[in-house]
């Protein structure tokens, strides 16, 4: 992360995504560092537990993608946008894991996201929600784990600029963005704009930002708070993003005043029920990064800004 100059808001979004296990979208013109940020994201994730090491290594062994060593770090998968449906989701006469399963307990990075086939994009909706994927064939069905953090990167339009330099027609831009359905958009927790930075930021004298190690320490501390909170409420240890609706009431209680404010704001912004709950989870993650026991108004306000969409 220290090698990426500027883009502090994007780094903040990635830290929140890592701490709570939230899906994240990075959008902006080409050359702003979206891909670099996504690749650096793996470095701020907590290491795999012993149980997860066995789980992830077993998956890659079955898929015949395992080298000579066990996998001890969260996997990072970045398939090209021309990848087939079966390679992303999984399939074959004898079903084999796809990229979404190979990124289990790690990161699935989809660059140039709107360039992926629409059927692939829509097929990801259910596994992102259920954290598993079932492939049915005539001989039977197989369920593979698919518990990963999705990171997508995209341009605002086909030419990439989305401003006064844009050469795209309104119809072409609309066609480009309509490939991403509303239900899929709702499953992305954090939307972060990655803008062009000043050339002064590239100078040696500007200095470097925080290292991945420093950010990883905050992420791991926030994860520990989440697991401890779950144990206190007799809930299975989970990241904030994994909490169900019933568990939210136990784990993330809001004061009456904050609940009223959040409900009124969500209604004004037109959030769906899923969007409401996901925003609440993001607010809880932000509070965890701040080391706060209770979710405050500032945490909810910051969470709401990440729910803004470009479509």
* Tens digit of each residue's pLDDT (9 = 90 or more) over 200-243: 666 655 556 789 999 999 999 999 999 999 999 888 889 999 99
Between the alpha carbon of residue 82 and those of residues 22, 31, 111, 119, 276, the distances in Å are 25, 21, 11, 12, 34
Domain spans in the chain, listed from the N-terminal domain onward: 8-206, 212-305
Least confident segment among 88-97, 139-148, 167-176, 198-207? 198-207
Q: Are 197 and 6 in contact (CB under 8 A)?
A: yes
pLDDT of the residue at 205: 54
**Alpha carbon distance 293, 299 (integer Å):** 12
Q: What is the pTM of this model?
A: 0.92
| pLDDT at position 43 over 90 | yes
Q: Give me the percent of the chain exceeding a pLDDT of 70.
A: 95
* Tens digit of each residue's pLDDT (9 = 90 or more) over 289-301: 999 999 999 999 9
Nearest to 55 by CA among 5, 113, 106: 106
Count, residues in the chain: 311
Query: What CATH number does the domain located at 8-206 have?
Result: 3.40.50.300
pLDDT of the residue at 74: 95
**Alpha carbon distance 53, 105 (integer Å):** 9
SS3 of residue 60 by DSSP:
helix
pLDDT of the residue at 250: 85
Average pLDDT taken over every residue of the chain: 90
Nearest to 19 by CA among 191, 185, 216: 216
308 pLDDT tier (thresholds 50, 70, 90)? low
Least confident segment among 4-18, 71-85, 130-144, 210-224? 130-144
pLDDT of the residue at 212: 94
pLDDT of the residue at 221: 97
Q: Are 125 and 183 in contact (CB under 8 A)?
A: yes
């Amino acid at each position: 992360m220290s090698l990426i100059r500027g883009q502090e808001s994007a780094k903040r979004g990635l830290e929140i995504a890592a701490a709570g296990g939230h899906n994240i979208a990075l959008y902006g013109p080409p050359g702003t560092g979206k891909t670099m940020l996504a690749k650096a994201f793996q470095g701020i994730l907590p290491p795999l537990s012993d149980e997860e090491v066995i789980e992830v290594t077993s998956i890659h062994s079955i898929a015949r993608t395992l080298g000579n060593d066990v996998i001890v770090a969260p996997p990072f998968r970045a398939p090209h946008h021309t990848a087939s449906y079966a390679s992303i989701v999984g399939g074959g006469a004898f079903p084999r894991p796809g990229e979404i399963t190979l990124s289990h307990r790690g990161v699935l990075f989809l660059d140039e996201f709107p360039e992926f086939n629409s059927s692939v994009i829509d097929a990801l909706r259910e596994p992102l929600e259920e954290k598993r994927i079932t492939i049915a064939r005539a001989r039977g069905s197989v369920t593979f784990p698919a518990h990963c953090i999705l990171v997508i990167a995209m341009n605002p339009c086909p030419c990439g600029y989305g401003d006064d330099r844009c050469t795209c027609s309104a119809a072409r831009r609309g066609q480009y963005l309509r490939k991403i359905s509303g239900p899929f958009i709702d499953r992305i927790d954090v939307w972060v704009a990655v803008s062009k930075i000043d050339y002064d930021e590239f100078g040696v004298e500007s200095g470097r930002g925080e290292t991945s190690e420093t950010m990883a320490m905050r992420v791991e501390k926030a994860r520990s708070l989440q697991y401890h909170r779950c144990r206190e409420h007799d809930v299975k240890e989970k990241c904030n993003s994994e909490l169900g609706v019933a568990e939210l009431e136990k784990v993330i209680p809001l004061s009456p005043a904050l609940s009223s404010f959040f409900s009124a704001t969500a209604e004004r912004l037109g959030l769906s029920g899923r969007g409401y709950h996901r925003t609440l989870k993001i607010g809880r993650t932000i509070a965890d990064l701040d080391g706060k026991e209770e979710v405050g108004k500032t945490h909810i306000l910051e969470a709401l800004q990440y729910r803004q969409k470009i479509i």
